Amino acid sequence: MIYLNSSHIDKEPIARDILAHDGVCSGLVCVLSSVEPCWSFDIHRNREKKKLELQLCRRKCLFLYHYQIHPVFGFLHARIQTWFPFPHSDLPQRSRMAGATDASRRSRLLPAA
């Protein structure tokens, strides 16, 4: 895992450099981490209701970027937030997917109707 000290660093070129240097053909290429702004919850004391409440607020938290080579989709990554709530994005890189048609990809991934 490589920690990046700024959320403004473009992570894909770093992952592609590691891919070229290590010669990975399939599977995990690298994991990059970075502290970035995120939405999370804070505990707020409501004096009127005499209850604790969760409020959505902006915070900083650690994100993990998993880069890998997938046999069908090629070079892709998943961005994983390590603090509650746990939204994520799995984003195939379109440039690597251009070789296969959408219909052929769907037929390999989805069961027949």
> Which residues, other chains included, contact 61 with Cβ-Cβ below 8 Å and sequence gap of 6+?
35, 36, 38, 40, 81, 82, 83
Each residue's pLDDT tens digit, 69-82: 999 999 999 999 88
Structural domain boundaries enclosing 89: 2-109
DSSP E strands, the chain: 2-4, 27-46, 51-70, 74-81, 88-92
Each residue's pLDDT tens digit, 30-85: 999 999 999 888 899 999 999 999 998 999 999 999 999 999 999 999 999 888 77
Q: Which residue type occupies 50? A: K
Q: Provide the domain count of the chain.
A: 1
pLDDT for 90: 58
Q: Are 59 and 83 in contact (CB under 8 A)?
A: yes
